[in-house]
C-alpha cells in the first residue's frame, strides 16, 4: 500500500504540472502538516506555484529545486511532470 503522505506530495507535484496552483498548495499543506520533514518540499512547491502565478510557467530551476527537495521515490514523478 502506498504511503498516504507521499501520495499527497505526488498530488501536489501533479497539480503543479497541470498548472493547478490551489491544488498543489492544498495537497502540500496537508502533507507537511502530517510530516514536518517535508518542509523543504513545501518550500519548493511554494516557489514553483509563485512562478506559475507570476510568469505562467514553472522555470527549470524551480523544477530542479523540487527534484532536489523531494524524497527519492518521488523524483521520477517530478521528472514526468516537468
- Crossing angle (nearest 10°) for helices 39-55 and 60-69: 170
pLDDT averaged over consecutive 10-residue blocks of the chain (82 residues)? 89 97 98 97 98 96 97 95 92
Q: How far apart are CA 76 and CA 53, in angstroms?
A: 24
Instruction: Measure Cα distances from 75 to 53, 54, 55, 59, 63 in Å.
Output: 23, 25, 24, 17, 10
pLDDT at 15 (0 to 100): 97
pLDDT at 1 (0 to 100): 57
pTM value?
0.94
Amino acid at each position: 500500500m502506498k504511503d498516504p503522505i507521499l501520495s499527497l506530495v505526488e498530488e501536489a507535484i501533479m497539480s503543479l504540472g497541470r498548472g493547478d496552483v490551489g491544488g498543489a498548495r492544498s495537497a502540500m499543506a496537508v502533507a507537511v502538516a502530517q510530516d514536518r520533514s517535508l518542509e523543504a518540499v513545501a518550500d519548493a512547491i511554494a516557489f514553483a506555484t509563485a512562478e506559475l502565478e507570476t510568469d505562467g510557467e514553472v522555470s527549470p530551476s524551480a523544477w530542479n529545486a523540487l527534484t532536489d527537495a523531494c524524497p527519492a521515490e518521488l523524483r521520477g514523478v517530478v521528472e514526468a511532470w516537468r
